[in-house]
Amino acid sequence: MASVWEYANPVKFIRTTDRVMPWLWAGSAICLVVGLVWGFFFTPDDFRQGSTVKIIYLHVPSALMAINAWLMMLVASLIWIVRRHHVSALAARAAAPVGAVMTVIALATGAFWGQPIWGTWWVWDPRLTSFLILFLFYLGYIALWSAIEDDDSAADLTSILCLVGSVFALLSRYAVNFWNQGLHQGASLSLDKEENVADVFYFPLLVCIAGFVLLFIALVFLRTQTEIRARRTRVLLARERQG
């Protein structure tokens, strides 16, 4: 039986992702276009918030991916620490800037929505604050990757930073909750609660989330491939210089 670990082989990884990626790109493009057009033009305005409510189709998926990208980096870092597959470390490295951009999108769309509704671009609300802190963690992680020259040490150090950072990010989340009560509404998509977003908004939102997930996977695959090829090029160049 084929095991997942076969994809730790860079050649196999590139071959498989090459085959999958067109589908991912197409799927995410279709989902995003359908979801956004549906959401922007074919849902009613909210009776209190007017059309500003429609920013939810960018805000919620990007916020979701910002957190999930960090979780994916955490898993990839663990795999690197335990099994030392280079593809895994490179995937974690590849996901970080994508996650950081998702965090910025979530913060920016939130600010655009907050300006007319809350009357301010920014408040020190627990959710907003913890997202800002998450963004700082992304920055530190990316900076550490780019600061270390040796590839293996960089992978080791960043994966430990990712583990420690996860614990502290979680701690900060609860500390911030303790520190200030917020304006931000509670979860609007949980599966177990009665009070969710109305169905008219819910289905296009699901399509948008699917689009963001596919987009994220495609971007991470692409960036991981780039990292693998860059590393291969470096090795080839070094070999050429020697011989």
Partner 1 sequence: MSALLTRDLALAVRAGGGFGLGLAFFLIVVVLVPFGVGPEQALLGRIAPGILWLGALLACLLSLDRILALDWEDGSLDLLATAPLPMELLVSTKALAHWITSALPLVVAAPLLGVLLNLPGPGYLWLLVSLAVGTPALSVIGTFGAALTVGLKRGGLLMSLLVLPLYVPTLIFGAEVARRGAAGLEVAQPLTMLAGITFGVIALLPFASAAVLRINLR
Shortest Cβ 140–partner 1 spacing (Å): 4
Structure tokens at 128: 């907003």
Residue 151 binding partner 1, by CB under 8 A: no
Q: How far is the CB of 80 from partner 1 (least distance, A)?
A: 12
Pick out residues in 92-131 that bind partner 1 (CB under 8 A).
none
C-alpha closest to that of 218 among 98, 104, 101:
98
Query: Which span (43-51, 65-73, 157-165, 219-227) binds partner 1, by CB under 8 A?
Result: 157-165
Alpha-carbon gap, residue 68 to 220, rounded angstroms: 12
Reading the block at residue 122, the tokens are 């920014």
- Range in contact with partner 1 (rule: CB under 8 A) among 86-94, 97-105, 169-177, 212-220: 169-177
Q: Does position 163 bind partner 1 by CB under 8 A?
A: yes
Query: How many chain residues bind partner 1 (CB under 8 A)?
Result: 26
* Contact criterion met (CB below 8 Å) for 193 and 187: yes
160 lines the binding site for partner 1 (CB under 8 A): yes
And the tokens for 98? Answer: 């994508």
Please give the helix or strand (H or E) that residue 77 lies within, else none: helix 56-83
Among 136, 183, 197, 200, binds partner 1 (CB under 8 A): 136
> At 64, which amino acid appears?
L
For helices 199-242 and 10-41, give the axis angle rounded to 10 degrees: 150
Whole-number Å distance between alpha carbons of 93 and 156? 11
Q: How far apart are CA 186 and CA 191, in angstroms?
A: 13
**Judged by CB under 8 A, which of 175, 197, 206, 222 binds partner 1?**
175
Cα torsion angle, 117, 197, 188, 217, sign: negative
R_g of the chain computed on alpha carbons = 20
Q: Which of 147, 189, 235, 237 touches partner 1 by CB under 8 A?
A: 147
| Given 28, 88, 172, 224, the residue binding partner 1 (CB under 8 A) | 172
Nearer to partner 1, 55 or 134 (CB): 134
Span of 63-71, 134-142, 205-213, 235-243 interacting with partner 1 by CB under 8 A: 134-142
Among 76, 176, 210, 213, binds partner 1 (CB under 8 A): 176
Alpha-carbon distance of 189 to 206, in angstroms, equals 10
Binding residues for partner 1, rule: CB under 8 A, are 133, 136-137, 139-140, 143-144, 147-148, 153, 156-157, 160-161, 163-165, 168-169, 171-172, 174-176, 178-179
